[in-house]
Amino acid sequence: MLEETEIYLATAWGDSEREVTMETIHDAIAKIRKMDDEHGAFWVSIVESEETMLETHKDLTVIGIFANGAQQQVRARLNDWEEIEELYKIFLTKDFENVQTILVANRADD
């Protein structure tokens, strides 16, 4: 039996999308840059048998929650929005191991 994959995007300001593409993510980034800190976050989840998620904040903090066996969370701070877009390109291909490696290399101390 094939497992169905669900991908969705939700925002701290109340928007959500069920069909997530890089254009959707680019739009969310454009909006987040105009938001206040409280509402300046969005997340994209990919649900197969388990949920894997990237949550991005206005201060360029990205939190990855990986469901590889036991749920694991990695908090990182990237340098700019272009790096975040590149990370989401990889994420949408479901190369979660590579995404996790990038986040670990940029791990945030806070």
Whole-number pLDDT of residue 22:
95
Whole-number pLDDT of residue 90:
97
Question: Is 110 part of a structural domain of the chain?
Answer: no
Q: In this predicted model, what pLDDT tens digit does every residue of 35-72 receive, in sequence order?
A: 877 778 999 999 988 889 999 999 999 999 998 666 68
Instruction: Domain count for the chain, please give it.
Output: 1
Which of the pair, 14 or 90, is modelled with greater confidence? 90
Question: Is 1 part of a structural domain of the chain?
Answer: no
CA-CA-CA-CA torsion for 100, 93, 21, 87, nearest 10 degrees? Answer: 30
Q: In this predicted model, what pLDDT tens digit does every residue of 62-98 receive, in sequence order?
A: 999 998 666 689 999 999 999 999 999 999 999 999 9
Question: Is 17 part of a structural domain of the chain?
Answer: yes
In degrees and rounded to multiples of 5, residue 82 shows phi and psi of -65, -40
Q: Rounded mean pLDDT of 21-26?
A: 95
Question: Is 55 part of a structural domain of the chain?
Answer: yes
What residue numbers bound the domain in which 37 lies?
A: 6-105
Q: What whole-number distance in Å separates Cα of residue 107 and Cα of residue 91? A: 17
Whole-number pLDDT of residue 42:
96
